[in-house]
């Protein structure tokens, strides 16, 4: 039996879980208020604060660090790398600290895992970070060499549910052709071909369907004119794209239940219903595009993420796409389990861990 400690920092939470093999033994979610985080100028400054929370939780639950076989944190915005489980070494630590592709709470995951690993002389890992890049070359083309398409998406959960579907079918993930749609605050839709995500929208900042908080793909010329209109600051424009786009921009909320409540009210019904249907429509179009990427040979379409708990919304999407392939719904996110599973595959010699610096992809500008 292997014990794995999982650490998953989010913007307002720190999730911790101890696994004995695949079984979760203990878990806790620390919620961080604005007041809690106000003293810190940057996310990296929160490192000691979050380490202490984890340390106190371990002590309060009488968990012996020396009995833990490995530590794993959610991967952050590092350089583009293929999917897999990566040893947290000095090269990876450097890029997590510097935020080489941006500052995000998930950058702390590998750093906190390494902090506890150093106390035990055990390994620390990250698994399938958001920057996983397995795009085929043709998928990198955007229309201008200065702006290549980027692979930034919900890689951890997408690959986890893809493996789950493969196991349920009694087949290997590497033998399947899948479309996985992760529906959350951001939406990512990926074409999985023989174990690689060969095409996927950049779900972070400006591609694909609109979502509860993100605008998705916008008309390029109009966006440029808006930027130069002097009506908005750089920060305001970026908030249009991420944080204040999508449902939030149209309806003033990022909550699907609130949208459905608006649909139920006569005075807001028409607009709310249109925006609701529009998001489902754009998701379905993106799934159709990934079916084209896979040349129509799709074994299963998987719908996952928090919004997939909403049966009505999922059924709306299915009306457009269920002719393509069978649709499987796996609600929510399986990030904690996926992190543990990635490490267990290493501990059981089912896979080999990867080295970050050796795996960094070359410059992708065509």
pLDDT for residue 365 is more than 70: no
Domain 155-332 is found in CATH 3.30.465.10:
no
Q: Where are the alpha helices (DSSP H) in the chain?
A: 34-37, 47-60, 90-98, 107-120, 155-168, 220-227, 234-241, 246-251, 256-264, 269-293, 311-321, 335-347, 356-359
What is the distance between the alpha carbons of residues 80 and 93, in angstroms, rounded to a whole number? 15
The alpha-carbon radius of gyration of the chain (Å, integer) is 21
Domain boundaries 3-134+336-359, CATH class: alpha beta
pLDDT of residue 99: 85
pLDDT for residue 204 is more than 90: no
Domain with CATH 3.30.420.40 in the chain: 3-134+336-359, 155-332
pLDDT for residue 264 is more than 90: yes
Quick: pLDDT tens for 57-68: 999 999 999 999
pLDDT of residue 357: 94
How are strands ordered across the β-sheet holding 70-74?
23-31, 13-20, 3-9, 70-74, 124-127, 85-87
pLDDT of residue 206: 76
End-to-end CA distance of the chain: 47
pLDDT of residue 363: 57
Please give the C-alpha separations between residue 56 and each of 49, 89, 268, in angstroms, as whole numbers: 11, 25, 48
């Amino acid at each position: 039996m292997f014990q794995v400690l999982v650490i998953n920092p989010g913007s307002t939470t720190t999730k911790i879980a101890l696994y004995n093999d695949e079984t979760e033994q203990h878990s806790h979610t620390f919620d961080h208020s604005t007041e809690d985080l106000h003293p810190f100028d940057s996310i990296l400054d929160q490192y000691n604060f979050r380490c202490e929370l984890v340390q106190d939780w371990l002590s309060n639950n009488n968990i012996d660090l020396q009995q833990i076989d490995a530590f794993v944190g959610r991967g952050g915005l590092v350089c583009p790398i293929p999917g897999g489980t990566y040893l947290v070494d000095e090269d990876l630590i450097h890029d997590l600290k510097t935020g080489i592709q941006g500052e995000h709470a998930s950058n702390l995951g590998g750093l906190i895992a390494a902090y506890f690993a150093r106390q035990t002389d055990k390994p620390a890992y990250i698994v399938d970070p958001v920057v996983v890049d397995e795009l085929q070359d043709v998928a990198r083309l955007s229309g201008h060499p200065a702006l290549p398409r980027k692979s930034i998406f919900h890689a951890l959960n997408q690959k986890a549910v893809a493996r789950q579907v493969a196991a349920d079918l009694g087949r290997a993930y590497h033998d399947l052709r899948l479309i996985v749609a992760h529906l959350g605050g951001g939406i990512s839709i990926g074409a999985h071909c023989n174990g690689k995500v060969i095409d996927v929208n950049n779900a972070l900042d400006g591609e694909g369907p609109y979502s509860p908080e993100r605008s998705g793909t916008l008309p390029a010329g109009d966006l440029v004119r808006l930027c130069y209109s002097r009506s908005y600051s750089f920060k305001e424009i970026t908030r249009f794209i991420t944080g204040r786009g999508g449902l939030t921009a149209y309806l003033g909320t990022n909550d699907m239940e609130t949208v459905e409540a608006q649909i139920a009210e006569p005075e807001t019904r028409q607009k709310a219903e249109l925006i609701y249907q529009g998001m489902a429509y754009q998701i379905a179009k993106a799934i159709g595009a990934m079916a084209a990427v896979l040349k129509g040979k799709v074994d299963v379409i998987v719908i996952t993420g928090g919004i997939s708990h909403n049966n009505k919304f999922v059924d709306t999407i299915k009306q457009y796409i269920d002719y393509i392939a069978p649709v499987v719904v796996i609600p929510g996110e399986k990030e904690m389990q996926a992190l543990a599973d990635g490490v267990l595959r290493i501990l059981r010699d089912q896979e080999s861990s990867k080295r970050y610096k050796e795996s960094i992809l070359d410059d992708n500008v065509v």
